[in-house]
Amino acid sequence: MKTTYDCIPCFIRQALDAARLATSDEKIHEQVLRGVLAAASKMNLDQSPPVMGQYIHKLIRELSGHDDPYKKIKDRFNNFALKLYPDLQQRIKTSSNPMDTAIRMAIAGNIIDFGVNAKIDNSIIFDTIEQAMSVQLFGNIDILCDSIDTAKNILYLGDNCGEIVFDRLLIEQLPVHKVTFVVRGGPIINDATMADARETGMTELVTVMDNGSNVPGTVLEKCSKEFRECFAHADLIIAKGQGNYETLSSCEKNIFFLLKAKCQVISGHMGCEPGSFIVKRSS
């Protein structure tokens, strides 16, 4: 997915939110904004938005001296989701269609995205879970389930902290011996890393690897050779979140994107309304 003009204001908002999270020094806030504005004026719009996201957060880390500005937020939402986990797991077990419910849970978890919304609270998450259980999905869960049944190697591309616990609920419904779960190679926004996979029990459930990159998405040329080989050999890829959609939507692989659409850029491209829940197969 290419960067559109509508992405530019989002870059500025995200940069300011993250800069304020990293430091209270307004001089650094100004430096960040000026740096992002200068970079945005020169960027190649054929690139996907997460490429600029990587630059924004690298700049903030350098100027603030804070390697992981979102660490407290990541820990908070991992812990919050782990407290919800037993009840959500029981809800799936007692559902008339556990796979459908688990997929909806995984999509609902995508709301925990501080690259899009810096003011997420517990009530928003509860509301999103309930909405996900009854709303019409855009896409076809049956086709995804058929692909899961026939797949030999499933690569599951994770997204955010907190959300990773919702992913665990879905992965428990999959043939876990076929699944490799992927996290980011380094801190970026509130995206999950290997430390978060350990903290949330994902490493005890399936094989987990990092992609060797701290782009808030999956830009293959920036990923490690090991990850690219796994990506090439996977016959089913489940990709969570907006960043993975933006970077892989034109990839010619058997990819299903599970996300909650949050902006006109995504929803317009996918032909659905803002705030929709998506099960979208790569074309």
Chunked into runs of 10 residues, the chain (283 residues) has average pLDDT values of: 78 84 88 86 78 81 85 95 98 96 95 82 93 86 92 97 98 98 94 97 98 93 96 96 89 89 39 50 55
Strands in 236-240's sheet, in edge-to-edge order, are 138-139, 277-281, 255-260, 236-240, 154-157, 179-183, 207-210
Q: Considering the domain 71-281, what is its CATH architecture?
A: 3-Layer(aba) Sandwich (3.40)
Reading the block at residue 246, the tokens are 């933006």
- Crossing angle for the helix pair 49-64 and 7-22, nearest 10 degrees? 20
Pairing relationship of beta strands 236-240 and 277-281 according to DSSP bridges = unpaired
- 179 forms beta bridges with 154
What is each CA distance from 71 to 21, 171, 260, in whole angstroms?
10, 25, 23
What is each CA distance from 181 to 18, 68, 158, 230, 231, in whole angstroms?
27, 22, 7, 11, 11
Q: Identify which of 59, 165, 148, 149 has the alpha carbon closest to the alpha carbon of residue 112.
A: 165
Backbone angles phi, psi at 228, to 5 degrees: -60, -35
Break the chain down into helix, strand, coil percent, rounded to 5: 55, 10, 35
Reading the block at residue 197, the tokens are 């996979």
- 89 forms beta bridges with none
With residue 204 as reference, give the H or E element that holds it. Answer: helix 202-205
Q: Whole-prediction pTM value?
A: 0.87
> At 138, is the secondary structure helix, strand, or coil?
strand
Q: Identify which of 133, 128, 127, 131 has the alpha carbon closest to the alpha carbon of residue 91.
A: 133
Q: Identify which of 211, 165, 214 has the alpha carbon closest to the alpha carbon of residue 187.
A: 214
The one-letter code for the residue type at 92 is I
